[in-house]
A and B are shown apart, each in its own frame.
Chain A
Amino acid sequence: MTTTEKIKYATISASPVKSFFVSMLTRDITLEDTILDLLDNCVDGIIRSKKSDRDKPYKGYRAEIDFNADLFTISDNCGGIPWKMHNYAFRMGKPTNTPVDAAGTVGVYGIGMKRAIFKIGKYCLITTQNGPDRYEIEIATPWFTDEKDWNLTPKYTRKPSTEDGTTIVIGALNDGIKEQFDKDRDKFTGELIDIISTNYAYIINKGFQVKINGQTVKPRDTKLIFDINPLGDKAPAIQPYIFKTKTDDGVEVFLAVGFTRPIPTQSEIESEQEQKRFSSEDAGWTIICNDRTVVFCDRTELTGWGDAGIPRFHTQFIAISGIVEFKSDDASKLPTTTTKRGINANLPIYAQIKNKMREGMRQFTDYTNKWKGKADEVKKQMQDGNLLSLNEIKEFSQKVDFNRTIRSFPAGEQYKPTLPMPKKIEPTKRRITFVKDLSEINRIAEYLDTPYSDPSEIGVKCFDIVLEEAKQE
């Protein structure tokens, strides 16, 4: 190689450029998800503190989020960032020599907090206290574009706080973010509360408190009907299908699927399709990984709908919901995506559990199909059931008899309920369905003096009147 060639083919710098982190990495994540990442850090802080009790491990801990046209602030009392974790907390990515984190935390990639800051603005002040560790880090606006400056300078904070925790203040808000925090504040606040109320439902139920602009977020969790007092051991009753297992690499799985409400009547199905009442939005599968909801009310092939013999989701199935909980001390074993707000469906553990999700779901789609058109009878069957949350199902399931599943993989224990099935008798009733002009239906409704009635009720009334006349012939 000549000298000219040596100069021409000199060493190439493959070091990252700042804009990759500041501008590119933030494109694949929504603002809402970055805020959830910050909340995840709060929860990881609680887990690290190891002060928690079993039933309400997050009790006494809180995170408060406030935003306006100028600033975004998240402040918590969740233990702060220990100085020994500073490399993990503040470097872009997780260094290999990072101390092993507490069991049950979800941080894996070492990017959540940084990505959230970059997504939101171009100035940041992080103040944290973890026992004797008390420091603050300011990231000034020029740092976000200075390619040479990759250092952050912590400052010791003299004045201790009453509680260990972290406060992150982000300023110089990015274009598009400022508008969401200011002009569209009501819309964004509502959306954020909605997302947190579902994604953090299980954590909030276990004692964690989240406030958004002063409003406390209440959990919105899935509850399944569980008839806890069936007439006999094997007597038919509305109960969920339950499966539980612990895999060889230590992932605990608990799965329950069942009914959240009676199956819909024909007119409800039609009205849901025509007027979109959002009842469907509460149906489907919810997947929880280490207490965080990563998938909420999914009704696609991702969770087994329209797959391997299970019908596609349809309005008639709005009563069916399922919950799967994955728990692992090692977050990398969980089937989540890098954003922690989705499922990596290719992982073997998820594919295996999906088989059990379908198996459970099949019982309830069959039941729905068999009882179709008999909504009144179904209502009676369900009225004795209690609506139980995941934790309550777990607790109550200790009293029911599980069977070992030997042939399926992963091996585990399952409880298959005996759902009531209609008797096979010759039908004495037939359904009458017909379509008429709305103006004509309204005219008859007025004639019968029943304005605003359900069209099916008007049809029934017309039938009854003619039947009475026929009887008198």
Chain B
Amino acid sequence: MKHPPYFLRFNKSADRFAMIEAIRHLSKLGCNFEDYTYHSLGGPFLEDFRLMYEYFPEMRFISIEADADTIKRQKFHKPCKKVVLTHTDMKSFINQYEPRDKKSIFWLDYTGLELSHFEEFKSLLEKIATGSMIKITVSADVRDYAKGNEQEKQKFADEFRAKFRKLLPNPVAPIPWKKDEFAYLVQHMLKIAAEQSLPAASSPVVFQPVSSFYYSDGTCMLTLTGIVWNRDDVKSIFTAYRHWEFVNTTWSMPCLIEIPVLTNKERLKLQPLLPCAHQKGQTLLTKLGYLVDNNNSNSSIALEQYALFHRYSPYFMQGFP
């Protein structure tokens, strides 16, 4: 099976580091990492498992993969002995998953936007232990439809509403065509799915978000991370995450990750100025002394993104034969 180079995707890499940070904050809630098992759809290169093992070697690791050939490739890329490769799809895995009280971290790392993704998220919420974390990534891409004529847009909107009616905050409202608004809508749908699984009137636990991002390495994706926690004690989560600059505990607009392409030389030049508190973009632009996008304003915005995510930005090394 052909796979895109997930490990070379810039914004997704930053998102992975953001997840590491979100997990790191669990210790502030009194959680021990050795109690956790990390589950994910790691893909052929198991990049997230490599990172997770690096940062949380005390955890257990389970990779879920439906394709037999991909598993062969995963065996080759296993970052450590601890990663258990399971040959099944996410739906079947969740159906058989029996956590009892054992805590888990799940990354439901989907590439599309299907009703089945929400259903798997809901099924998992219904059985996962308190103190567990779920990160779900889904496509939030409307670009192709937004470019179409009114008839095509209408057709997409009708089909989208019919398909996701039970998850929409307003099942008869127009579909937003701007990428930030559409990402926000998808996040809203995840909120409703969580409320359906864990209703306030009957469930003592709640899915409390801690961060949400949207980014595009070709396709716009939304990724939401949250903790299943006692409803009466969510304030502890607010306290634990309050100093994290990317915290989103209020289901507010997801944060954009759009890191500009900078060379290592440029990054090293900017490094001494970071972190900077005010006018981040303009400060870095002045330091560079040239534009990195098509005008001053866009360059400043791009460098502001870099300032924001510089700690999460990966270094991809280039080699010449």
Asked if A193 is an interface residue, CB under 8 A from chain B, the answer is yes
C-alpha spacing A439/B1, complex, angstroms: 8
Let me know if A175 and B171 touch, CB within 8 A: no
Known: A279-B162, A439-B67. A186 touches B1 (CB 8 A): no
Asked if B199 is an interface residue, CB under 8 A from chain A, the answer is yes
Let me know if A186 and B2 touch, CB within 8 A: no
Residues on the A chain within 8 Å of B195, using CB: 183-184, 186-187
Residues on the A chain within 8 Å of B201, using CB: 175-176, 179-180, 184
Task: Determine how close the nearest CB of chain B comes to the CB of A449; give it in whole angstroms.
Answer: 10
Residues on the B chain within 8 Å of A187, using CB: 191-192, 195-196, 199
Let me know if A186 and B169 touch, CB within 8 A: yes
C-alpha spacing A277/B166, complex, angstroms: 11
Residues on the A chain within 8 Å of B188, using CB: 186
**Most chain B beta-carbon contacts within 10 A, residue among A186, A194, A275, A277:** A186
Q: Which size class do A's interface residues fall under?
A: 20 to 34
Let me know if A439 and B69 touch, CB within 8 A: yes
Let me know if B166 and A278 touch, CB within 8 A: yes
C-alpha spacing A175/B202, complex, angstroms: 10
Residues on the B chain within 8 Å of A443, using CB: 1
Let me know if A184 and B167 touch, CB within 8 A: no
C-alpha spacing A179/B195, complex, angstroms: 11
Let me know if B170 and A215 touch, CB within 8 A: yes
For residues 145 through 185 of chain B, which have their beta carbon under 8 Å from a beta carbon of chain A? 162-163, 165-173
C-alpha spacing A33/B171, complex, angstroms: 18
Task: Determine how close the nearest CB of chain B comes to the CB of A332; give it in whole angstroms.
Answer: 32
C-alpha spacing A301/B194, complex, angstroms: 34
Let me know if B172 and A220 touch, CB within 8 A: yes
Asked if B68 is an interface residue, CB under 8 A from chain A, the answer is yes
Let me know if B191 and A218 touch, CB within 8 A: no
Asked if B116 is an interface residue, CB under 8 A from chain A, the answer is yes
Let me know if B165 and A194 touch, CB within 8 A: yes
Asked if A190 is an interface residue, CB under 8 A from chain B, the answer is yes
Cβ-neighbour of A197 out of B2, B172, B196 (below 8 A): B172
C-alpha spacing A276/B120, complex, angstroms: 13
Contact with B along A252-278 (1 / 0, CB 8 A): 000000000000000000000001111
C-alpha spacing A269/B167, complex, angstroms: 23
Residues on the A chain within 8 Å of B1, using CB: 439, 442-443, 446
Residues on the A chain within 8 Å of B293, using CB: none
Let me know if B165 and A277 touch, CB within 8 A: no
Residues on the B chain within 8 Å of A281, using CB: 162, 165
Contact with B along A443-458 (1 / 0, CB 8 A): 1001000010000000
For residues 182 through 231 of chain A, which have their beta carbon under 8 Å from a beta carbon of chain B? 182-184, 186-187, 189-190, 193-194, 197, 215, 217-220
Known: A176-B201, A183-B200, A451-B2. A278 touches B172 (CB 8 A): no
Asked if B114 is an interface residue, CB under 8 A from chain A, the answer is yes
Let me know if B171 and A275 touch, CB within 8 A: no
Let me know if B173 and A215 touch, CB within 8 A: yes
A-B contact pairs, 30 of them (CB 8 A): A175-B201, A179-B199, A180-B201, A182-B200, A183-B231, A184-B195, A184-B201, A186-B169, A186-B188, A187-B191, A187-B195, A187-B196, A190-B192, A193-B170, A193-B171, A194-B166, A197-B171, A215-B173, A218-B172, A218-B173, A275-B114, A276-B115, A276-B116, A277-B162, A277-B163, A278-B162, A278-B163, A443-B1, A446-B1, A451-B2
Given contacts A179-B200, A275-B115, 18 further A-B contacts (CB under 8 A): A179-B199, A183-B200, A183-B206, A186-B169, A187-B196, A189-B170, A190-B166, A190-B170, A193-B171, A219-B172, A276-B119, A277-B163, A278-B115, A278-B163, A278-B166, A279-B162, A282-B162, A442-B67
8 residue pairs, one from A and one from B, having the closest CB atoms: A183-B200, A179-B200, A187-B195, A218-B172, A179-B201, A176-B201, A194-B171, A184-B195
